[in-house]
Amino acid sequence: MKTPVLALLTACLVLTGCARIGQSRLNPFNWFGRSTSEEVEVVTPTTIRGPLVAQVTSMTVDKAPGGAIVQAVAVPPEQGYWRAELVIADDIDVETGTLVLYFTAFPSPLKEPAGSEFSRELTAGLFLSDQTLAGVRTIAVRGASNQQTSRR
């Protein structure tokens, strides 16, 4: 009789502990929250090749084995932009723990019509290793007029 009661009590304690881990910083699904948009005046570093996209509309940070995948969606001013990529131009800001990525894309050599916003969307992603993320509390993806940020 004592063994089943002891097993039930142990199971209850373990399950209660799981609920606490669900909201803790130890849970990798909680490492980065939802992204927020901020208007910023962006100074493009000289190390970046290609123009910044006009506006970054969303970003996500998904946990992956050995690091995380940052995915961002942006809207250029017209159709035909290509070679969209997220570029790390600066080192991590140690004081704030911020890693800044720049969303770049090349315009079409041909003049293209503007089209709808949905038809102009570009998506780019970048894998960041655990070593790169060490000390990072905020990831920011910058476009020409705004940035999306996600905090731990």
Q: What is the pLDDT of residue 58?
A: 94
The whole-number pLDDT of residue 21 equals 56
The answer to whether 60 and 129 have CB atoms below 8 angstroms apart is no
**Closest by CA position to 52, among listed 148, 150, 149, 146:** 146
Give which of 133, 71, 136 is closest to 97, Cα–Cα.
136
Please report the beta strands in 107-145, taking only residues with DSSP state E, as ranges in sequence order.
122-129, 138-142
Residue 48 φ then ψ, to 5°: -90, 130
Query: pTM surpassing 0.75?
Result: no
Residue type, 72: A
> What are the tokens at 45?
């570093």
Residue 27: the pLDDT is: 57
Q: What distance lies between CA 116 and its chain's CA centroid?
A: 25
> What is each CA distance from 17 to 11, 27, 85, 152, in whole angstroms?
10, 12, 41, 21
Domain boundaries, the chain: 1-30, 31-151
Tell me what pLDDT residue 72 has: 96
Q: Tens of pLDDT along the chain (152 residues)?
A: 677 777 777 766 666 666 555 555 555 555 555 565 656 666 666 667 789 998 999 999 999 999 999 999 999 988 888 999 999 977 677 678 889 999 999 998 888 777 788 888 999 999 999 999 988 999 999 999 999 999 87
pLDDT for 32 = 58
Q: What is the pLDDT of residue 121?
A: 93
- Which helix (H) or strand (E) is 88 found in, with range? strand 82-88
